[in-house]
Structure 1
Amino acid sequence: MSETRAFAARTIRLLLVEDHAMVAEAIGLALDQAPGIEVVAGAGSIAAAVADAGRTRPDVVVLDRRLPDGDAVAAIGRLLAAAPSARVLVLTGEATASVAARVVQAGGAGLLLKSSRLRELEAAVREVAAGGVVFAPGLLPGVLDRLTGRVGTRLTLRERETLLLLAEGVTTQEVGRRLGVARNTARNHVQHVLEKLGARSKLEAVAIARREGLLD
């Protein structure tokens, strides 16, 4: 029997980390009723999750990104130190390639939106338990670009100029005036910059660009 089939034949032990009681109850009940999955513990904070991980040694940790005692992505290393064989799947309300790359760099196995259906979460749990990785649709190219340092190379010269102007805090209209293009064209340049950086706003695009060294 192959390693993957052997793993599929045994129960996946799961630690659920979610601080909202109703959400935790709904997810926990759904996953616990899924064939081959057992929710062995539930925690509502990073500290409790680390303790439970060490005590129960789960196969998979489903981890809410924002918890009362901090950003859970930064705590992935602590969870893996407590349970070295665990695979960590992060749940988040908003997903960007930048956050997904942080998850990978921290040792996580994936990032899924909280808006995903329960059957999608169940499938993701099975995938990461079997050694795979799972990301919300559309994130993987941006993750690879960040991990390989290719984020900046995806921007055209015009988009780089637009990004520099955004860093100055100018409006889209001012971007058009400074670049000598129509407002609609400037708006398209701004939108392309946001899409390529995985940002949801101009401010986030500038923050990502600073972090990636694109404004140096």
Structure 2
Amino acid sequence: MPRTAGSRISILLVEDHDMVAEAIRLAMDRTDDLEVVGRSLSVQDALADAARLRPAVVVLDRRLPDGDGIDAIGPLKAAAPGTRVLVLTGEASPAVAARVAEAGGSGLILKIGNLRELEDGVRRVAAGDVAFSEGLLGGALDRLTGRIADVGATLTPRERETLGLLGEGLGAAEISRRLGVAVNTARNHVQRVLEKLGARSQLEAVAVARREGLLR
């Protein structure tokens, strides 16, 4: 069973950026009911720390040095049964929220929000509820109930162009030439497409797009 820190909700913070981690730790420790009992810098560290500390909630950064935090949700829950996982990310889409829900996560909070939202999210998931930033819950619910979210609705015209070129099997260099933009700009367009489709690779993005009818 997950442990509490006295009467407080125990939290394992998985975040590799020192400033972000310290801000979160200070905010949590100033409350009456939340306490950060450990911090991990990577997925592998988090698995070992979760098994040792058995926190009530893991606050998990999505982008970690050794992998995607969403992929770590299942292993974390296996390492510490009963622990709830709340993903923290710089940006996300309903499709990404659906991935979190499918993986067994209890919520997805955006870093652009305020710390109060994160604190409330921890309390909610510790109580057995879910916590998704505004605009993301629908995607998770759609996937959990078997409905397909309109993942293409958030793509800009340029991102749709990029997706079409990905569907032709082109890489960033070829996409930059076709769009008349710098390679780094093309890479940014590709990354945005992957984020919005909840995909981990260009191949998966194309597969999702075809499944959703965004590509022929």
CA distance in 2, matches of 1:51, 1:67: 15
Aligned to 2:112, the other structure's residue is in SS state coil
Change (3 A) 1:32 1:145: same
1:146 paired residue among 129, 143, 146? 143
Structure 1 or 2, whichever has the larger Rg, is: 1
1:104 paired residue among 101, 105, 108? 101
Aligned to 1:28, the other structure's residue is in SS state helix
Contact map agreement 2:11 2:37 (CA 8 A) in 1: yes
Task: Report whether the alignment pairs 1:117 with 2:114.
Answer: yes
Aligned to 2:178: none
- Give, in angstroms, the shift of residue 137 of structure 1: 0.5
Task: Report whether the alignment pairs 1:24 with 2:21.
Answer: yes
Aligned to 1:85: 82
Change (3 A) 1:52 1:145: same
Contact map agreement 1:95 1:136 (CA 8 A) in 2: no
- Give, in angstroms, the shift of residue 34 of structure 1: 1.1
Task: Report whether the alignment pairs 1:129 with 2:126.
Answer: yes
Aligned to 2:212: 214
Change (3 A) 1:97 1:204: closer
CA distance in 2, matches of 1:28, 1:105: 28
1:146-204 deviations in Å (ceiling 9; x for gaps): 3334327899xxxxxxxx998644xxxxxxxxxxxxxxxxxxxxxxxxxxxxx965995
2:68 paired residue among 71, 80, 92? 71
Change (3 A) 1:47 1:200: closer
Aligned to 1:159: none
Runs of 4+ with >6 A deviation: 152-155
CA distance in 2, matches of 1:13, 1:203: 30
Q: What 5-or-longer segments of structure 1 have no aligned partner? A: 1-6, 156-163, 170-198
Which residue type is aligned with residue 130 of structure 2?
V
Q: What 5-or-longer segments of structure 2 have no aligned partner? A: 153-159, 166-190
TM-score in terms of structure 2 length: 0.70
Contact map agreement 2:92 2:195 (CA 8 A) in 1: no
Which residue type is aligned with residue 46 of structure 1?
V
**Sequence identity, in percent?**
54
